[in-house]
Chains A and B, each alone.
Chain A
Amino acid sequence: MPRRDDIKRILIVGSGPIVIGQACEFDYSGTQACKALRADGYEVILINSNPATIMTDPELADRTYVEPLTVEFAEEVIRKERPDALLSTVGGQTGLNLAVSLAEAGVLEKYNVELIGAKIESIKKAEDRLLFKDAMRKIGLDTPQSQLCVNVETGEEFAKKVGYPLILRPSFTMGGSGGGIAYNHEELIDILTRGIDLSPVGEVLIEESVLGWKEYELEVMRDLADNAIIICSIENFDPMGVHTGDSITVAPAQTLTDREYQMMRNAALACLREIGVETGGSNVQFAINPENGKMVIVEMNPRVSRSSALASKATGFPIAKIAAKLSVGYRLDEIPNDITLKTPACFEPTIDYVVTKVPRWQFEKFPGAEAVLGTQMKSVGEVMAIGRTFKQSLGKALRSLETGKSSTTEVYDEALIPKKLITPNPDRLQYIRFAFRKGWTIERVQEMTSIDPWFLTQVKQTIDLEESLAGKKLEDLDQVTLRQAKRDGLSDKVLARAVNVTPNELRDHRKSLGVEAVFNRVDTCAAEFESFTPYLYSSYESECEAEPSDKKKIMILGSGPNRIGQGIEFDYCCCHAAYALNDFGMESIMVNCNPETVSTDYDTSDRLYFEPLTLEEVLNIFDTEKPDGAIVQFGGQTPLNLALPLKKNGVPIIGTAPENIDLAEDRKLFGKLLEELDIPSPENGTATSIEEACSVARSLGFPVLVRPSYVLGGRAMVIAYEEETVRRYMQEATLFSQERPVLIDRFLEDATEVDVDALSDTENVLIAGIMEHIEEAGVHSGDSSCVLPPITLTAEERATIEDYTVKLARALNVIGLMNIQYAIKDGKVYVIEVNPRGSRTVPYVSKATGIPLPKVAVGLMLGKKLPELANLLNGQTSGVLPVPKFFVKSPVFPFNKFPGVDPVLGPEMRSTGEVMGVGESFGEAFAKAQLSAGTPLPEKGTVFFSVSQRHKAAAVEVARKFAAAGFSLAATRGTAQAMKAAGLQVKVVFKVNEGRPNAVDLMKAGQLQLVVYTTNGALSFSDEQAIRRSAITSRVPCITTLSGAKAAAEALLSGYRDPVKVWSLQEIHQADASHTTGASV
């Protein structure tokens, strides 16, 4: 059954912004799908609102729409482009949902678009709980028993039948709030009553508990000829009860006999066939009772998923790419295996190593959220590590996490062990390790965690090995001991600490004994066939399969696990570095440990090293590959932290010198530089003690911004309006020291913030974008919406910014990319921060300008001057790049996953992703961005204002715009008075503590459609929090800055839906196209 010729144009739906549970794994799958289909001669039309993705690069599709993923906008794309088919299965849940909505709205039928990948009936059967249960029952598979309850009696009856514990999930509540586990009748009544009340439809799903059962996933593929294969089996270290995305997972499954595995395989295939997934990949989850082998099917996803990305990286089998090919009619046996070249893709990968995935959490960013894990995913990223054994891969995975914690230095409290073991939480594994250190037995730990004793044994063996080294000297570590330790995954750092030497001394000693890392290949076949793809991982085996070439080559250091503040944008840059190196005739070597990314696709670079980004592991690669240079400025803070140590170990860093990158971070040296250049910055100081901090703050004058040095994403920043806040901050922040003092800046209240990305060769400087923030200074730049081109800056202000940028780039000898943050107050431009490296906004600016910034930057790092790269820049090598429309970038927040957290914006970055809106006016672009960000502005209704004293005047002007757009106004007493005084019609509403009905009541009753609520500085009172939290649960958009409210009002006045307009990036930059063809220089 060959390729279908009846379809020519295929629409691919992306997954939108990065949110918890849906991250860059869908950039990976979407990118693969785009590439595979285009390689096969199909025209690809793409819609995705996320500009930070590789898939939205204009080169990857024939038409790329960075537009809202709604029926309205997608229909306009379909109307304009007339695709023959829509591939729904590579864009995560978002893509699938949009496909279903388009089908249900009749759009697909109207424009005669065929749904490929998964059909509507299959999607529904898989996604609808009851239909799914029926389908599974039909083929004889068990699912956990469940019951929908609208009253307590039904629940009690069900409990009598099934027994405790029971899982309760109220329908349609955000963040799973109101749900829980009932262990007895009393708790059942309690949770059920509350759940029915909280659920907007008064409904709670009660489910038989399979807590503590072993959890598995199988990745399955099927073609139109009904050939079906398993790509990978995955076993969860954490048993049922913890979301798979929050579980440590291991491939292949470790504790199943062949009989049990085949039973599960048969069940997965039966499920796939019954659900009717005709082509593509699916993921089926199972739970097995460890006592008697009883198996239940938990769920299935009829699309590629986070797990399929993991499975692809774990096996070397590119699921999304193959799924795309299957969707256009190919059979599995018609597609060759990329890695062996000679054998077909119709087989089941087998692996001779163990893969471990460990999630990365950031509860510290969400004070008020309880750091426990359950059925809702909370992690923001993950790492994967490959080792020849589980112990080795777990060790590598843990050091890939870069938590800054290390098991031997962290302080653990023995009294906390039971609590930390019983309730799943981010520290559970560390506490298990700690418990073993304290002599706990496997049985005891198993009792509390229900983790399979096989896994626990492996963890304990590592601890025992570590303990056995304590008190030894370096010379006691002979070859046998060291090899064993390395084979069991211990790092040089851990070994060095055990024998009290530096990691470098340990490394030298180890190498002198011939204990050196080698590299093995990921080849889908356990070495049965020759591998033609250098996809490598390190081990301490006996032979090295790296086979480095003698070409000119550059090593790119990736950004590691996704974190808030360091995510897909940096992966975008790293991928482009790889593409660009090829264009410049060099070999690219990628180093990264994040399985979700495009950068860890073996197709992206010439050679892929799936390794932790630690000094030890990067040096191992350097020793083997001997690259001509390393790029550290694209992967965010992770590679930057390694830059100087790498340089000291002889690794040539290309681009801006690490010393200059550091200089920009060094408060004193940088302050001196600014002085020399006569560039103003907010007055500032540093402190290493509480008293010093208070005195610095007093002398600067409040408010002040207090933060630690060397952080990305604004970790632990605070704006202090009075000394008490500074004092409290200094008491709680443990991050400062003589070398790393706390930085204190005078805070420029109500200033306009501006981000600048620029390219520099040390002489020529090209400003790629001047981005004006919508929210005023004080909101972290990553959390602020921003617009290209700037909308309120004066010509003088722009000229000053240009001037400062050029001066700073030259002074810091920047080679490649740099990012500068400015604040403008009362016409004066201040430099807030300079980062001589690729920034979070690079992909956004690249999309808006049509210029591939990372590619130009790579050219610069390779020693070319800007004028030599003019053909990549439409001939422009100085000044500011033009943008042909308005482009608004808006952040997306995970507050709905953290009930109890105050969603106010501040200096600490908390957004997980971003979207871009394109428009002919600022208002239109902003409105689209809000729509894409999942916070659509209301069409009509009432806007509720409650603003602090100093915002009252401005609030009146904003309110006037809303009134002009046809909205009714409501406000708290003080705000209302100001508005009334200005002649506006406004309804007075109680604050929460003033009586009822108050603002929260009105919101719940659906009487308020938009909330504008600003606070006085960093303090937020419980009253205000209640309003903001209630806005989230009632899904009422809540704007916490006045400039944001103003933007919203302009958006509403823009008439952006009348009619809906969409533009492809290719269209927008068409005029430039003639200049940008031809990559080589």
Chain B
Amino acid sequence: MDQAILALEDGSIFEGKGFGARGVRVGEVVFNTSLTGYQEIATDPSYCGQIVVLTAPQIGNYGTSSLDSQSRPWIEGLIIREISPLTSNWRSDQDADAFLKNAGIPVGSAMDTRALVRRLRSRGVMRGALSSQGGNPQELVELARKSPSMAGLDLATRVSTKERYPWTEGVPACSPSELLAAQEAAKFNVVAFDYGIKRDILRQLAHRGCTLTVVPSNTSAEDVLALKPDGIFLSNGPGDPEPLEYQAAQVRKMMGKAPIFGICLGHQVLGLALGGKTYKLKFGHRGGNHPVLNKRTGKVEITAQNHGFAVDPDSLSSTDIDLTHVNLNDQTLEGIAHRSLPVFSVQYHPEAAPGPHDSHYLFDDFIQMMSNYKEGAR
């Protein structure tokens, strides 16, 4: 059994057992508190550049299923309390260890994940180096300290598709008992900016009658508008939103030309396009239990979240923007909508995957918005 070592930039060392691929990786160490969905997390491009700590202690129990991947595995490394030696689920086509190993991702198991999370919570996220094959802890600390900081890093470009591609596949049922409406016939052409898009966002939109064209993150507004979209989608993605000036500029040019809906990084890019500012959270929001108040309905949604940066609501105060959603844990901004233009976005993940489905209605809202816009244009 190989020893696993996680070294943080503050010099702290966590030891465990190595699984997955053997090797050393560096990244920003962040934690996610979801009880389910390790596979979706591991394959979410928003985690590019990050070593993810899962607080749920038993990982790998149900293996992995190709249907559940959100992209290819993007995390730099995985830190868990205990990996399952066996897969138990009828949907599984590969065990979790092999899945991560094949993707070249090292795993540190048998780690004291709670102590690690407490450290990250009190000191904020830190850079770290994970070895799944032993080594000198002090050298790993040095490696962590030398690794690039997340702030100012444009990772969206790195994870984005290089070529545009179409998407029409809806949401596949996970059980004969799942209550799932039939997929709508294609009605809307939607262009989706891929800043690191998750497959389940595409599926949710396609399921509701969208024919999608996924375009690289650096696609120009002109190229997008040339596709005559009924709607434009700004995806989630990794890293710091601030370097995405070009993307923000394109969004600014497209506002009012077609309905725009943004999620997560897409929300931040929209915020920047509207003249807002973003800032880094101490340890981010990553999990499936964050309460978000929809200020328009007064109802609370339990949401899936994955972000390390946020839009500063004060920076939007002079703009023509409604602050529509707020996080009840820390009062951070979770959603905005333009007062006159068909433009809105949320910081959290309505597609969930993993997480509760309380916010699926936002996709319906987008469809409604496109429908209204089409009506109005006619």
Contacts and interface: CB of A to CB of B under 8 A. Distances in A.
Interface in B182-239: none
Given A344-B328, A454-B84, A542-B115, A350 B57 contact: no
Contacts of B56: 252, 350, 352, 526
B61 interface: yes
A257 B174 contact: yes
A294 B178 CA distance: 8
Interface in B25-82: 31, 33-37, 39-40, 55-58, 61-62, 65, 68, 81-82
Interface string A248-270: 00001111111111110111001
- Max chain B CB contacts within 10 Å: which of A229, A350, A461? A350
B355 to A, nearest CB: 7
A266 B181 CA distance: 14
Interface stretch (B125-133, B242-250, B257-265, B294-302): B294-302
Interface stretch (A285-293, A645-653, A853-861, A862-870): A285-293
A343 interface: yes
A599 interface: no
Nearest to B329: A343
Contact of A520 (B36, B114, B300): B114
Contacts of B329: 342-344, 347, 529
Contact of B68 (A258, A265, A525): A258
Contact of B299 (A227, A292, A442, A528): A227
Contacts of B291: 333, 343-344, 346-347
Contacts of B85: 457, 461
Given A257-B36, A259-B68, A294-B175, A528 B117 contact: yes
B307 interface: no
A169 interface: no
Contacts of A368: none
Given A263-B179, A348-B288, A442-B86, 20 more contacts: A253-B36, A254-B58, A255-B88, A257-B39, A257-B65, A257-B91, A258-B37, A260-B175, A270-B179, A293-B177, A333-B300, A343-B328, A344-B329, A346-B291, A350-B288, A352-B56, A453-B86, A487-B110, A525-B33, A542-B115
B253 interface: no
A397 to B, nearest CB: 16
A543 B356 CA distance: 32
B92 to A, nearest CB: 8
Interface string A324-337: 00000000110000
20 contacts: A256-B89, A258-B40, A259-B68, A263-B178, A265-B357, A292-B175, A294-B176, A332-B300, A344-B328, A346-B328, A347-B289, A349-B289, A352-B33, A352-B81, A389-B58, A457-B84, A487-B110, A528-B31, A528-B287, A543-B112
Contact of B352 (A262, A527, A542): A262
Contacts of A262: 36, 352, 354-357
Contact of B35 (A252, A255, A346): A252
Contacts of A256: 36, 62, 89
Contact of B356 (A265, A453, A525, A545): A265
A349 B355 CA distance: 13
A887 interface: no
B81 A389 contact: yes
6 closest A-B pairs by beta carbon, nearest first, are: A258-B37, A258-B354, A293-B175, A526-B55, A259-B174, A295-B177
A904 to B, nearest CB: 48
A351 interface: yes
- Max chain A CB contacts within 10 Å: which of B178, B302, B352, B355? B178
Contact residues of A: prevailing secondary structure = loop
A274 B376 CA distance: 37
Given A347-B302, A351-B35, A543-B112, A389 B57 contact: yes
B: interface residue count bin: 35 or more
A: interface residue count bin: 35 or more
B233 to A, nearest CB: 22
Contacts of B290: 347
A255 B62 contact: yes
B110 to A, nearest CB: 8
B118 interface: yes
Contacts of A225: 298-300
A349 B289 CA distance: 7
Nearest to A352: B55
B339 interface: no
Nearest to B37: A258
A270 B179 CA distance: 11
B177 A254 contact: no
Contacts of A288: 175
Given A293-B175, A527-B117, A457 B86 contact: yes
Interface of B: 14, 31, 33-37, 39-40, 55-58, 61-62, 65, 68, 81-82, 84-86, 88-91, 110, 112-115, 117-118, 121, 174-179, 287-291, 293, 298-300, 302, 328-329, 352-357
A333 B39 CA distance: 31
B33 A350 contact: yes
A262 B110 CA distance: 27
A992 B68 CA distance: 68
Contacts of B31: 528
A527 B68 CA distance: 27
Nearest to B352: A262
A335 to B, nearest CB: 11
B68 A257 contact: yes
A226 interface: yes
Contacts of B62: 255-257
B13 to A, nearest CB: 10
Interface in A443-465: 452-454, 457, 461
A452 B63 CA distance: 14
A333 B174 contact: no
Contacts of B298: 225
A265 B289 CA distance: 13
Interface string A134-173: 0000011110000000000000000000000000000000
Contact of B114 (A229, A267, A352): A352
Interface string A367-398: 00000000000000000000011100000000
- Max chain B CB contacts within 10 Å: which of A270, A290, A454, A543? A454
- Max chain A CB contacts within 10 Å: which of B58, B82, B357? B58
Contacts of A267: 177, 179
B326 to A, nearest CB: 11
Nearest to A344: B328
Contacts of B34: 258, 350
B89 A255 contact: yes
Given A229-B302, A257-B65, A350 B177 contact: no
Contacts of A265: 356-357
Contact of A291 (B90, B114, B121, B328): B90
B55 A527 contact: yes
Contacts of B112: 541-543
A256 B68 CA distance: 13
A342 B330 CA distance: 8
A350 B289 contact: yes
Contacts of B355: 258, 262
- Max chain A CB contacts within 10 Å: which of B37, B177, B300, B355? B177
B176 A227 contact: no
A350 B90 contact: no
A296 interface: yes
Interface in A899-950: none
A266 B357 contact: yes
Interface in A529-562: 529-530, 541-543, 545
Contacts of A487: 110
Contacts of A291: 90
Nearest to B178: A263
A348 B303 CA distance: 10
A531 to B, nearest CB: 10
B174 A293 contact: yes
- Max chain B CB contacts within 10 Å: which of A142, A270, A527? A527
